[in-house]
Every structure is written in structure tokens, then in C-alpha cells.
Amino acid sequence: MDRRLCLGDGTALSDIFDELQEEVRAERMRRLALRWGSALGVVALVAALGAGGWQGWRWYQSRQSEQAAALFLETSRAAEQPGADPAALGDRFAQIASAAPDGYRTLARLRAAALKAEAGDRAAALALWDAVAQDPKAGEVYRELASLMWVMHGLDSEDPGALASRVAPLSGATKPWRYSAQEMQGLVALRQGQKDEARKTLQALAADETAPQGLRDRAARLAAGLEG
């Protein structure tokens, strides 16, 4: 059964997701890199340093971070190539995440989730986004982005109450993803059968001069589809 939400004019809400995702993408990486020696050799060096072991450990951590950065960059480039396999690349990012330091673990999970969603494996994507959202070691901006993506891609499948609870804290005046979260609030209200509330939320977003113009235009279009 087709469970996609539609507007009054028959437009599937899933048809606007690509446009929305372009606006919430904010992954950036630092330029680091090349290859380093074996981790075993580094551990031996740390032991030999004795009192200087802490500095050695910090050096080892730095090298681990640079290795993760190199793998992340290499896999990101592969993902941009024509004909790239999103499922396989999603697995590669998940593998990077399993061994990477905290920062790159978060970024790799986010990329893995996006690629899993692109490949049609929504369950895996939702699980990865949820893992980031619940990870206290991930930065707040990434946790909230993961929650937003979880709501966006779970709109047709997840419990409406859970969707509403997840997106509400993201829409506050100081939140980085507030405008996209407000749009999602409108769509979640529609999922809950609250058509009037959905229209009001989207109309308010469309009228907000501080919101990005593209998002305002889309909110106006969605609200217009709910008229009548």
C-alpha cells in the first residue's frame, strides 16, 4: 500500500525531500592526511616514552584522526563519482565510523545514513541517524541534524507522536535547523490529521522574512496545497 503523504493537488511530499536535504547538508571536513605507520608501533613508542607517554598518546590520537580523515575524504570522493553504489559506500562509511575518533565517527555515520537512504534502505538509515542523535559525544548541531533527518525520512513510517516529540525541540528561535524543523512540524501535523494546524505552521514559515527564501517558497507551496 502506498503510504506517501500527498498535498491536495496530488503532489507527493516525498518529491520535495531532495530539495530539503540540499538545504540541511552542512558537512565540512578539514584537509588532513596521507598514510601513517602501524598502530602497534605507536603503542610500543608510547610505552617506551614512560613519563612522556601522555604526549605520545596525544600524538597517536592525532595520527588516528588523520587516518580517519584520509579514509573519510577518499570515500567521500568515491561517493561523488558517476555510477557510485550508495549501498556499498554506505557500508564503507559505517566501517569508517566503527573505528574512527568521535568527530569522524559522527560525520561517517551521517554520510552512511544518507547513502543508505539513497539506496532505499530506510531502516538502516533511520537507525544510523538515531545513533547519532542519541550519542552524547556527538556535537549538538550534529545530534539535532540527525534528529531532523530521522523525522524527515520517518515521516511516512514512524509513530506520529514520536515524530512530533522529536522535531519540537529543534524549532526553537536559537536552534540551527529551526526553519527546516518548522517545515517538518507542518508535515508532521498533516500526518497527524491536523490539516488546519499544518497549514498555519507552513503559512507562518512562508511569511518569516528571516527564513531562507527557497524554504519560504516551498512552505508557501505546501500551504497552498492544503487550502480548501
Report if residue 118 sits inside a domain.
yes
Q: Which domain covers residue 101, as residue numbers? A: 85-139
Domain co-membership, 180 together with 209: yes
The least confident of 42-56, 99-113, 214-228 is: 42-56
Report if residue 18 sits inside a domain.
no
Domain co-membership, 165 together with 131: no
Question: What is the spatial distance between Cα 128 and Cα 133, in angstroms, rounded to a whole number?
Answer: 9
177, three cell numbers: 535547523
Does the pLDDT at position 122 exceed 80? yes
Does the pLDDT at position 109 exceed 90? yes
Does the pLDDT at position 114 exceed 90? yes
pLDDT in tens, 166-212: 999 999 999 999 999 999 999 999 999 999 999 999 999 999 999 99
Structure confidence at residue 62 (pLDDT): 58
pLDDT in tens, 25-38: 433 333 333 333 33
At residue 105, what is the residue type? R
pLDDT in tens, 56-79: 435 445 555 678 888 888 999 999
Q: What confidence tier does 216 reach under pLDDT thresholds 50, 70, 90?
A: very high
Torsion sign, CA atoms 52, 54, 58, 61: positive
Q: Which residue has the higher pLDDT, 140 or 61?
A: 140
Nearest to 198 by CA among 155, 156, 227, 161: 227
Report if residue 1 sits inside a domain.
no
Report if residue 112 sits inside a domain.
yes
Domain co-membership, 119 together with 179: no
Report if residue 174 sits inside a domain.
yes
Domain co-membership, 123 together with 164: no
pLDDT in tens, 76-91: 999 999 999 999 999 9
> Rounded to two decimals, what is the model's pTM?
0.73
Report if residue 113 sits inside a domain.
yes
Q: Is 69 exposed, middle or buried (0-12, 13-18, 19+ CB in 10 A)?
A: buried
Q: How many domains is the chain built from?
A: 2
Report if residue 197 sits inside a domain.
yes
For residue 138, list its beta bridge partners. none
Domain co-membership, 168 together with 221: yes
Domain co-membership, 175 together with 212: yes
Structure confidence at residue 19 (pLDDT): 52
Domain co-membership, 220 together with 163: yes
Report if residue 134 sits inside a domain.
yes
